Amino acid sequence: MTPAVDIQNLTKRFETITAVDNLQLAINQGEMFGIVGPDGAGKTTTFRMLTGILLPTSGTATILGFDLITESKKIKREIGYLSQRFSLYGDLTVDENIEFFAEINEVYDYKDRREELLEFTRLTPFRRRMAEQLSGGMKQKLALACTLIHQPKIIFLDEPTTGVDPVSRRDFWKILSNLLKLNITIVMSTPYLDEAERCGRVALMNDGKIMAVDTPKNIKSLLPGEVIEVVPASATVRAMMNILRNHPHVRDVQAFGDRLNIIVADRTKDFPLVQSALAEASLEIAEWRVINPSLENIFISLMSRDAPT
């Protein structure tokens, strides 16, 4: 099957900064694909190139079989893009915003489609409310409805749940799950690694480069060793990190708030030596447990591996 999105050596430079570096990626039709990374990773620049807003410095892509450079007008008819700062019009109602975006997408027989989308996003009771009076989560639902009004085959969602409350995030994800049943390809970016778990496949991105691409389950299997979560009794996390960072039996140590994730090859052999090293430094452990690796563990490990020495 031809990929919905096929990216080949896509690069974008801004003067001395390489925002996206030789990106190669294939996204299948009908899948939910997540691009995960921190601010500055290159996610938004990638989306802006794929949606025709920015021209790449080099490389290219095909979207639904259309060439990114030479057939951009054809691509724009088939895709939807919800940017980080989607421009809803606060002095227009929910209905009027959808009508406006229908018309700029050259959809004039939109009323039945609007009813479907209002029902789909559960915005029907608020259709006459001004957009500026909506909550953050409702604004995102309206933005999604506007993105879907012309029935795109692929939607690009750039950090759609950033700044949205947990209940609205959950509702938004239910809507996205229902879109998958309609065979719409969803390409989304997020800084939230827990959200990435919901995607069929994810790409971990940092400094304009893809570090890994696979299912969340397979990516988590990349971590060599076992993860032990440790809560210090009285010592600070930083004090424990300083002891363990260069310990020969610790593959990696990562701080998460008031606890550490210590990665060892074999907990039965290595963790007693870790405990002894901490005891010698008068650092006590309040509690510990073995946990499954998370995407965050993998991401931090990959970043550490790729960091310049």
Domains of the chain: 5-215 (3.40.50.300), 226-292 (3.30.70.980)
Partner residues linked to 130 by β-bridges: 93
For residue 145, give the nearest of 125, 172, 163 by alpha carbon: 172
Provide long-range contacts, Cβ within 8 A and 24+ apart, for 86-92: 86/143, 86/146, 86/147, 88/131, 88/139, 88/142, 88/143, 88/146, 89/131, 90/130, 90/131, 90/132, 91/130, 91/131, 91/132, 92/130, 92/131
pLDDT at 308: 44
For residue 267, give the nearest of 227, 229, 236, 307 by alpha carbon: 227
pLDDT at 86: 74
pTM for the predicted model, two decimal places: 0.88
pLDDT at 304: 75
Each residue's pLDDT expressed in tens, for the chain with a length of 309 residues? 789 999 999 999 999 999 999 999 999 999 999 999 999 999 999 999 999 999 999 999 999 999 999 999 999 999 999 998 778 899 999 999 999 999 998 998 999 999 999 999 999 999 999 999 998 889 999 999 999 999 999 999 999 888 788 888 888 888 899 899 889 999 999 888 888 889 999 999 999 999 999 999 999 988 888 999 999 987 688 899 999 988 999 999 999 988 999 999 999 999 999 999 999 999 999 999 999 999 999 998 888 766 544
pLDDT at 148: 94
Q: What is the three-state SS of the chain? A: CCCCEEEEEEEEEECCEEEEEEEEEEECCCCEEEEECCCCCCHHHHHHHHCCCCCCCEEEEEECCEECCCCHHHHHHHEEEECCCCCCCCCCEHHHHHHHHHHHCCCCCCHHHHHHHHHHCCCHHHCCCEHHHCCHHHHHHHHHHHHHCCCCCEEEEECCCCCCCHHHHHHHHHHHHHHHHCCCEEEEEECCHHHHCCCCEEEEEECCEEEEEECHHHHHCCCCCEEEEEEECCCCHHHHHHHHCCCCCCCEEEEECCEEEEEECCHHHHHHHHHHHHHHCCCCEEEEEEECCCHHHHHHHHHHHHCCC
